Amino acid sequence: MNDWIKTDIVVIGSGIAGLTFALESARLGMKVVILTKNETRESNTNYAQGGIAAVVTDNDSFDLHVKDTLVAGAGLCDKSAVECIVHQAPEAIAWLIEQGTNFSKTHDKALEVGREGGHSRHRIVHAKDLTGREIERALTDAVSSHPLITTIEHAIALDLSFTSGVECTGITAFIPHEHRLLSVTAKATMLATGGCGQVYAHTTNPSIATGDGYAIAARAGAELKNMEFVQFHPTSLYHPNAHSFLISEAVRGFGCELKRRDGSTFMEEYHPLGSLAPRDIVARAIVREMRLSGDTSMFLDCTAHDEDTLRAHFPTIFEECLRWGIDISKEMIPVVPAAHYECGGIVTDLHARTSIKRLYACGEVACTGVHGANRLASNSLLEAVVFAKAAAQDVIHLPEVTSGIVLHESNFSTQKGALTTSIVHLLKQEIQEVMWKNVGIVRHTQELEFAQNRLLAMADEIEYLYRHNELTLELIEVRNMTQTALLIASGAASRTENCGLHFNVNLW
Ligand code: FAD
Ligand code: SIN
């Protein structure tokens, strides 16, 4: 059965990008349908800790924020996109507050600002160490009470629909628990599907981050770039049973230092900013120190602060570490890098327009030019708000889709059997291991070639399984994961010089 809905705007994803775009489009009078593959709040946004970068104090300036972003981006940023987000950051913060977001305040009621790696000033607006959860709460509340917005949870987008192959006219989704397809036709389609950390064995990202949007866009022929620039966050908790829980960079911004097991500091040997150097440098330094020492992690020392102070500023991190038996006011936290953020993605302009007519992309899935070869911490939530708002201003001018709608052709059939979950699970694990071991922080030409070949073979195998078995959420995701992993591996294999997050030892 193929159900069909017609609306003004369809949004795929309910993180900060999708929700902001939905709210702004609805404010301009458009009817919006949001499709999201889990519960509305389940997104990378919901786990963001550090905050949002914005110039909100007198000793800071737009020029400094622009400069820090360009330095982190290692020469590959688009300056006009950087200027755009930096200049609109104070307005974006005001907008989030208007939607109900409660940011942390100082005693005199000013916004409290923290500092993170690569930033020359304190400029990270935050809600303790739960910034993403607070934003997601506020935006979800605003969306759920808006009469022009309908949210359909547990609907996984499959592929775009087109009028005679030229203009995007919407999307077809699969609703696993009802075992049916749903097609949504709209004058604009927004991919706000977030990132792809799950293609790696170790990641700070939740399970939804399987790279669906990159794969959907690539299959439709949209332009993507810079996929090789995967940011590894330097400090995720190292514990055999903890799932790469993030220890926010704001902790280092609060004066806590990276150390070896014997308590000696090392970051000053790698960069003048020490523990607050840009992420690519810190992550590589940690990997090198682990190799030199044979240790399974490096350490983050917070013990200069007492328990009350740490609990007041980082309640979630304090509790989570305690859950794993680490009292961070008394002992150092074992940390290792983990896949965190995809700097590349679907190429978009300053209104989030992609290379395909009527198709927009925003948030982590987009490549706006802001991040270049390495993202400056806390610029991504900001980027999502600024470009989502700009996109809403653009789609208002689009004419209706009137004719020639061709619905997506899928392999949907009730006649097919379902693959066992263990096969899909094994395929997923293999992708994650291939990527972690061969397309990680430190790369080698031979390993990149190996990864590409292995992923190509897996892509064929998975395509066959996709065509010949009943659709399931897991099968759809694993197909998207191989295709996204391939985009990253082939981007890395074809980049001929080291830059930002791409570091291939054979190019030196
Ligand atoms: P997401 O928030 O990931 O939302 C994507 C949405 O798309 C989800 O709702 C998902 O379910 C849905 N979706 C995906 N595929 C499909 C599909 N096929 N069909 C239907 N729905 C789909 N950035 C900062 O700027 N500051 C921070 O402090 C910060 N901290 C972070 C901490 C952690 C632990 C992590 C993981 C990231 C952090 N980031 C931070 C990065 C930032 O959170 C993300 O880049 C940002 O939230 C992405 O927002 P988004 O709306 O693009 O995607
Ligand atoms: C963090 O809190 O360290 C994450 C910030 C980010 O990824 O921008």
The answer to whether residue 472 is domain-embedded is: yes
Looking at 323, 340, 357, which one is the last position of a domain? 340
Those residues with Cβ within 8 angstroms of residue 231's Cβ, 6 or more apart along the chain or in another chain: 279, 280, 339, 340, 341, 342, 343, 374, 375, 501
pLDDT of the residue at 222 = 98
CATH of the domain at 285: 3.90.700.10
Cα of 8 from ligand 1 centre, angstroms: 24
The answer to whether residue 168 is domain-embedded is: yes
Single out the residue of 132, 44, 69 nearest to residue 278, CA to CA: 69
The answer to whether residue 414 is domain-embedded is: no
pLDDT of the residue at 42 = 98
DSSP per-residue string spanning 411-475? ---SSSPPPPHHHHHHHHHHHHHHHHHHSSSSB-HHHHHHHHHHHHHHHHHHHHHHHHS---HHH
61 and 143: one domain?
Answer: yes
364 within ligand 1 shell (Cβ under 6 A) = yes
In the set 123, 279, 353, 479, the catalytic residue is 279
User: What's the distance, Cα to Cα, between the start and end of the chain in Å?
Assistant: 56
Alpha-carbon distances, residue 197 vs 179, 202, 236, 348 (angstroms): 27, 8, 13, 21
366 and 461: one domain?
Answer: no
The answer to whether residue 124 is domain-embedded is: yes
pLDDT of the residue at 419 = 81
The answer to whether residue 415 is domain-embedded is: no
Range of the domain at 245: 230-340
Nearest atom (ligand 2) to Cα of 131: 2
253 within ligand 1 shell (Cβ under 6 A) = no
CATH of the domain at 384: 3.50.50.60
119 and 217: one domain?
Answer: yes
pLDDT of the residue at 151 = 98
Whole-structure pTM value? 0.97
CATH of the domain at 437: 1.20.58.100
50 within ligand 1 shell (Cβ under 6 A) = yes
79 and 179: one domain?
Answer: yes
β-bridge pairing 359-361 and 257-259:
unpaired
Nearest CA to ligand 1 atom 30: 48
Q: d(Cα 274, Cα 492) in Å, to the nearest integer?
A: 28
pLDDT of the residue at 458 = 97
pLDDT of the residue at 29 = 98
383 within ligand 2 shell (Cβ under 6 A) = no
Cβ-contact 247, 254 below 8 angstroms = no
Cα of 361 from ligand 2 centre, angstroms: 22
The answer to whether residue 416 is domain-embedded is: no
SS3 assignment, position 9 = strand
Query: Which of 16, 65, 104, 249, when mutated, tests ligand 2's pocket best, judged by the most ligand atoms within 8 Å of its CB?
Result: 249
Q: Cβ of 26: how many Cβ atoms within 10 Å?
A: 20
pLDDT of the residue at 243 = 86
Q: d(Cα 424, Cα 98) in Å, to the nearest integer?
A: 43
Query: Which of 246, 279, 314, 317, when mutated, tests ligand 2's pocket best, judged by the most ligand atoms within 8 Å of its CB?
Result: 246
pLDDT of the residue at 402 = 75
Cα of 387 from ligand 1 centre, angstroms: 15
213 and 68: one domain?
Answer: yes
The answer to whether residue 190 is domain-embedded is: yes
Nearest atom (ligand 2) to Cα of 235: 3
358 annotated active-site: no
Which regions in the chain score pLDDT beneath 50? Answer: none
287 and 394: one domain?
Answer: no
Nearest atom (ligand 2) to Cα of 117: 3
Looking at 317, 340, 363, which one is the last position of a domain? 340
Those residues with Cβ within 8 angstroms of residue 108's Cβ, 6 or more apart along the chain or in another chain: none
314 and 440: one domain?
Answer: no
486 and 393: one domain?
Answer: no
For 33-52, the pLDDT digits (tens) are 999 999 999 999 999 999 99
The answer to whether residue 413 is domain-embedded is: no
322 and 204: one domain?
Answer: no
Q: d(Cα 23, Cα 15) in Å, to the nearest integer?
A: 12
380 within ligand 1 shell (Cβ under 6 A) = yes
282 within ligand 2 shell (Cβ under 6 A) = no
Looking at 375, 406, 437, which one is the last position of a domain? 406
Q: d(Cα 197, Cα 177) in Å, to the nearest integer?
A: 25
Q: Is the dihedral of CA 405, 409, 415, 421 positive or negative?
A: negative
Single out the residue of 85, 100, 42, 116 nearest to residue 381, CA to CA: 85
Those residues with Cβ within 8 angstroms of residue 482's Cβ, 6 or more apart along the chain or in another chain: 427, 431, 455, 458, 459, 462
211 within ligand 1 shell (Cβ under 6 A) = no
Q: How many domains does the chain have?
A: 3
CA 447 to chain centre: 25
93 and 208: one domain?
Answer: yes
245 within ligand 1 shell (Cβ under 6 A) = no
Number of C-alpha atoms within 13 angstroms, CB side, residue 169?
A: 21
pLDDT of the residue at 407 = 55
190 and 66: one domain?
Answer: yes
Alpha-carbon distances, residue 484 vs 42, 198, 210, 474 (angstroms): 21, 10, 8, 15
281 and 218: one domain?
Answer: no
For 374-420, the pLDDT digits (tens) are 999 999 999 999 999 999 999 999 999 876 555 555 556 656 777 88
Nearest CA to ligand 1 atom 39: 48
Cα of 104 from ligand 1 centre, angstroms: 21
